[in-house]
């Protein structure tokens, strides 16, 4: 169960949407909205229907229909305005009345909406407001966190469902929401508006049902977003600070089990050090390390490239972390990379679950002939993808240019009670071995391509992703069985996703393949995409014919 799930049965799914996450993806290659993320996460959610929306910066109850019956019933109830919606808003302006009603027509003006007197032909918007009494308000303020003080808590009940309705109406009566600078609110860590509850009739039983969303910490929106994503018993590795998207340009912080890893081009600033100390306390980590990001990493010896301890306890030479219920060995003593790329976590989960996205499943681990699926993991690094495929029942061949990392991969197999001897580990150049495997007649059901942006080997020379990825795809496609699946991924930041997709599909066409199914995946939500921090990770899952 995901922490954000509030209610689920055969017909309904309700979640507590965190602030800072869109309801749905704003563009084809943008980050997934929570609707897209859920719909592609589990086969039982593949048919989710979006019934209503919340603004990106609004948290709270978001309701989805899982069946046609639920979709029809909920759509009818929202249309008839019989669904009772309860919001909480926080403002630092004193209200003149304890309760009041705002009725107007909303008109779009650029990125915001304006309130106009009701008029013929206009779409009426109506919101009831009530200032909460001191005891009730104090309870909500306590939950909001110590960073939210000297404010008034109001309850808002919108009788209609217009975009930005509560925000516009609150500002119109001189009570702009704290953090809603678009409508005149004072600056705050987030827009302090929370969809606290929905009351409606269950589509099947027709009994009244109320779903309530606990108020998150309003002064920690970025941390609350991460808390909504992960069951800590299964996953304790994720990104805590993603550069400018989280308000810290050029600085990145990962949680790696009991330790934090800070990364920047320069040493920690005083503000970063202070925030890192706070993060260390808030997530209960034992220690923190800092790594200087360098473009000359290949010319830097491992001891100089390795992260350095800066806070708390030092980590052992090797330690294990949890991801999707599996364990992986990490180390701060092996050079620039620590052993696991967190931005591929959701793609590894897809291998484990056998489910790529809505309507796109992976073949079962054993087909009708009883043959294990054959998986080839190129550029395998420490074999995290291989472990997930093996746990799902496949026989995996892991190929990498480093014996050290392949030995690390074997330890990851053993760490998850998988016998490394039942799988193949090949040391060598990817292009050379793709050619050799082809000559041997080897064929695979799934080939994984996740090369570094830049690499170099004696056999193939220099590899640059944007220049050479098509050649890599053509070589890999020659090893696929009909109906096989190609996983193609790149973290080349300057390579537009449209061009990446075009390169992959053109290479497949040149190799005589067509994509029967495709699913594009951006980086996961703990690596949020913004104008200030553009996307870099691009992934295509392709079922070929």
Q: Dump pLDDT digits (tens) for 104-125.
A: 999 999 999 999 999 877 789 9
Q: Which residue has the tokens 């806070």?
A: 311
Mean pLDDT of the chain: 93
Tokens of 335: 């050079």
The residue among 242, 236, 268, 272 whose CA lies nearest residue 255 is: 236
The residue among 63, 60, 61, 68 whose CA lies nearest residue 50 is: 63
The residue among 321, 322, 375, 369 whose CA lies nearest residue 351 is: 375
* pLDDT score of 458: 63
* pLDDT score of 121: 74
Instruction: Tell me the DSSP string of 475-535.
Output: HHHTTEEEEEEEEEEE--TTS-HHHHHHHHHHHHHHTT--EEEEEEEE--TTS---SSS--
**Other beta carbons within 10 Å of 483:** 11
Active site members: 55
CB 192 within 8 A of CB 144: yes
* pLDDT score of 461: 66
pTM (global) more than 0.95: no
Strands annotated E in 258-335: 259-264, 287-292, 308-312, 319-323, 326-330
* pLDDT score of 364: 62
User: Which residue ranges in the chain fall short of pLDDT 50?
Assistant: 365-368
Structural domains in the chain? 5-222 (3.30.2350.10), 230-322 (3.30.750.80), 341-544 (3.40.50.150)
Q: Which residue has the tokens 């606290």?
A: 196
Phi first, then psi, for residue 211 (nearest 5°) are -115, 125
Q: Number of C-alpha atoms within 13 angstroms, CB side, residue 320? A: 13
* pLDDT score of 328: 98
Query: For residues 221 and 428, what is the distance between their CA atoms, to the nearest angstrom?
Result: 45
CB 174 within 8 A of CB 154: no
The residue among 36, 27, 89, 102 whose CA lies nearest residue 60 is: 89
Helix, strand or coil for residue 157? Answer: strand
Strands annotated E in 314-405: 319-323, 326-330, 355-357, 360-361, 374-377, 395-400
């Amino acid at each position: 169960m995901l922490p954000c799930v509030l209610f689920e049965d055969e017909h309904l799914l309700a979640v507590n949407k965190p602030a800072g996450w869109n309801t749905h993806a704003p563009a084809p290659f943008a980050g997934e909205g929570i609707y897209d993320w859920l719909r592609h996460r589990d086969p039982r959610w593949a048919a989710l229907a979006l019934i209503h929306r919340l603004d990106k910066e609004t948290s709270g109850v978001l309701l989805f229909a899982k069946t046609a019956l639920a979709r029809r019933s909920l759509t009818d109830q929202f249309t008839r305005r019989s669904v009772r919606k309860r919001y909480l808003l926080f403002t630092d302006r004193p209200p003149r009345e304890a309760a009041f009603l705002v009725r107007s027509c909303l008109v779009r003006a650029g990125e915001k909406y304006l309130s106009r007197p009701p008029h013929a032909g206009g779409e009426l918007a109506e919101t009831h407001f009530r200032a909460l009494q001191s005891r009730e308000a104090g309870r909500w303020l306590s939950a909001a966190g110590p960073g939210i003080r000297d404010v008034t808590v109001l309850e808002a009940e919108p009788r209609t469902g217009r975009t930005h309705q509560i925000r516009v109406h609150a500002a119109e009566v001189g009570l702009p929401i704290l953090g809603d600078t678009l409508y005149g609110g004072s600056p705050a860590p987030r827009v302090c508006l929370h969809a606290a509850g929905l009351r409606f009739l269950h589509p099947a039983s027709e009994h009244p049902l109320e779903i309530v969303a606990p108020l998150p910490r309003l002064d920690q929106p970025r941390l609350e977003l991460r808390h909504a994503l992960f069951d800590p018993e299964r996953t304790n590795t994720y990104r805590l600070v993603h550069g400018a998207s989280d308000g810290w340009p050029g600085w990145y912080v990962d949680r790696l089990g009991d330790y934090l890893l800070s990364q920047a081009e320069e040493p920690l600033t005083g503000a970063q050090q202070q925030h890192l100390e706070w993060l260390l306390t808030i997530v209960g980590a034992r220690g923190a390390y800092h790594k200087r990001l360098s473009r000359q990493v290949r010319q830097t010896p491992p001891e100089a490239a390795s992260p350095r301890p800066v806070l708390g306890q030092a980590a052992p030479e090797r330690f294990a972390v949890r991801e999707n219920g599996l364990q992986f060995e990490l180390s701060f003593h092996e050079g620039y990379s620590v052993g696991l790329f967190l931005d591929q976590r959701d793609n590894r989960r897809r291998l484990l679950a056998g489910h790529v996205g809505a309507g796109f499943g992976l073949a079962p681990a054993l087909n009708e002939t009883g043959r294990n699926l054959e998986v080839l993991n190129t550029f395998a690094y420490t074999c995290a993808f291989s472990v997930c495929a093996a746990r799902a029942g496949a026989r995996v061949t892991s190929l990498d240019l480093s014996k050290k990392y392949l030995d690390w991969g074997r330890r990851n197999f053993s760490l998850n009670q998988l016998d490394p001897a039942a799988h193949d580990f090949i040391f060598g150049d990817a292009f050379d071995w793709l050619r050799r495997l082809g000559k041997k007649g080897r064929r695979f059901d799934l080939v994984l391509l996740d090369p570094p942006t830049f690499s170099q080997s004696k056999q193939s020379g220099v590899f640059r992703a944007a220049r050479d990825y098509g050649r890599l795809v053509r070589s890999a496609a020659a090893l696929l069985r009909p109906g096989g699946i190609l996983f193609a991924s790149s973290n080349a930041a300057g390579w537009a996703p449209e061009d990446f997709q075009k390169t992959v599909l053109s290479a497949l066409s040149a190799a005589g393949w067509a994509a029967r199914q495709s699913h594009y995946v951006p980086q996961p939500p703990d690596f949020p995409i913004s104008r200030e921090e553009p996307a870099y990770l691009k992934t295509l899952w392709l079922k070929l014919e």
